[in-house]
Amino acid sequence: MTLNLEANQTPGLVCAHNHFYSALARGMPAPPRTPHDFPEILKLVWWRLDRALDLDTIYWSAKLGALTAVEAGCTAVIDHHESPNAIEGSLSVIAEACSEVGLRVNCSYGITDRHGPDGAEAGLAENDRFLSEGGRGMVGLHAAFTCEPDTIAAAAELARRHGVGVHVHVAEGEVDTWQKLGGHTDDHWLLVHGVHLPDDHGLSGTIVHNARSNMNNAVGYADPKRFAPDNRVALGTDGIGSDMLDEFRVAYVRAREADVTIGPDLVWGWLENGWYLFPEARHDVVTWDYAVMDPWRLAYTTQVSPTEVEIDGEVVWVDGVSTRVDVGETKAKAAEAAGRLWSKLETIG
């Protein structure tokens, strides 16, 4: 189907890597001490937050995350989830919350050996359960450096069995053992970050670039254009919202900082590659409050918002209001859930 879009319309934008579980993290208590590098950011912030999650806080974080995605004209999100104390059923909770808002979502549970072999087994089982029940998803793997070789092999095998790819963080920081993924990957895989991958890494799949997150964690510049043509490049937010026009602008200025000859068409192409990952989004229609949705203009125009978002033929957002859920009530309940999550977080060392 080809859409005849007006100049102020685009298909639905795709976020190729997100963590809805971080939607309630904004405003959370500071970590016990200031992290000094990326491994410490993981240990002191994210690996404490994920242990505090239960199915209730997962639901409200996903619902808030879904609402803010639609609000920004993003109609499809590829989510990567971890909640080691609430694994079973977690992917269905996320899918349900997104479906209530009308957002398309692809779910995966990030399998890891950080919590021993039982934790890895439970993560594998949750991916298998969700996919077996017909859920839209992939097999999630946290990262090679937190997984035993057998766990990586089992995830790859499970993905093959379900005809999907593996969604995995790759060489985000300098400390990584991405080489362990060699021999397992195929074109369906999502290789997230790739900051410290060499040009000739030999892995197959789409590299997902998360420019803002990488800067926030001071892990370095991925320079994703170096992976073409062997790997397609797409854009994700890594949990910092789902505003893909904003992410495009940040990825663009970061690319310019490294090479001032780069134009916005290259980075806009990375955003468009999201439609290879989530083809249905190409048929969604977003009407914007800006006259000409052209990469050159958008690179330098901030605060562009949708006036209407149509997903799967249904208008789910119009003039700042969801047609599906009460925005004010959802935000209030998400704030209450955030309070519960932060209280629990205080008890986790």
Strand partners, 141: 111, 168
Scanning 233-241, 261-269, 317-325, 327-335 for contacts with Zn ion by CB under 5 A, the matching segment is 233-241
247 binds Zn ion (CB under 5 A): no
Q: How far is CA 303 from CA 24, 66, 153, 300, in A?
A: 23, 19, 44, 10
Residues in the chain: 349
Q: Which pairing describes strands 104-106 and 74-79: parallel, antiparallel, or unpaired? A: parallel
Distance CA 91, CA 9 (A): 32
Choice between 197 and 325, CB closer to Zn ion: 197
- Helices 264-272 and 244-258 pack at an angle, to 10 degrees, of 140
Burial (0-12, 13-18, 19+ Cβ within 10 Å), 229? exposed
Distance CA 90, CA 135 (A): 12
Scanning 151-159, 230-238, 248-256, 303-311 for contacts with Zn ion by CB under 5 A, the matching segment is 230-238
Distance CA 21, CA 61 (A): 6
Scanning 60-68, 131-139, 141-149, 234-242 for contacts with Zn ion by CB under 5 A, the matching segment is 234-242
CB of 268 to Zn ion, least distance (A): 22
Distance CA 195, CA 343 (A): 34
Q: Write each residue from 103 to 132 as x if it is in contact with Zn ion (CB under 5 A), else as -, in one continuous string.
A: ------------------------------
Choice between 120 and 168, CB closer to Zn ion: 168
Scanning 30-38, 236-244, 250-258, 321-329 for contacts with Zn ion by CB under 5 A, the matching segment is 236-244
> 121 Cβ partners below 8 Å, 6+ apart?
none
- Residue number with the smallest Cβ distance to Zn ion: 238
Per DSSP, the three-state class of 23 is: coil
Choice between 238 and 243, CB closer to Zn ion: 238
Choice between 277 and 304, CB closer to Zn ion: 277
Q: Which of 238, 243, 284, 310 binds Zn ion (CB under 5 A)?
A: 238
Per DSSP, the three-state class of 262 is: coil
Choice between 21 and 290, CB closer to Zn ion: 21
Scanning 105-113, 238-246, 255-263, 310-318 for contacts with Zn ion by CB under 5 A, the matching segment is 238-246
Q: How many residues bind Zn ion (CB under 5 A)?
A: 1
CB of 254 to Zn ion, least distance (A): 17
Distance CA 109, CA 73 (A): 25
CB of 208 to Zn ion, least distance (A): 9
Choice between 42 and 66, CB closer to Zn ion: 42
Choice between 87 and 141, CB closer to Zn ion: 141
- For 138: left if phi > 0, alpha if psi spans -120 to 50, otherwise beta; the answer is beta
Distance CA 120, CA 73 (A): 35
Amino acid occupying residue 296: W
Choice between 71 and 238, CB closer to Zn ion: 238
Choice between 172 and 284, CB closer to Zn ion: 172
Scanning 7-15, 140-148, 235-243, 296-304 for contacts with Zn ion by CB under 5 A, the matching segment is 235-243
Half-sphere CA count of 316, side-chain side, radius 13 A: 29
Distance CA 100, CA 330 (A): 11
CB of 33 to Zn ion, least distance (A): 23
> Which spans of this chain sit near Zn ion (rule: CB under 5 A)?
238
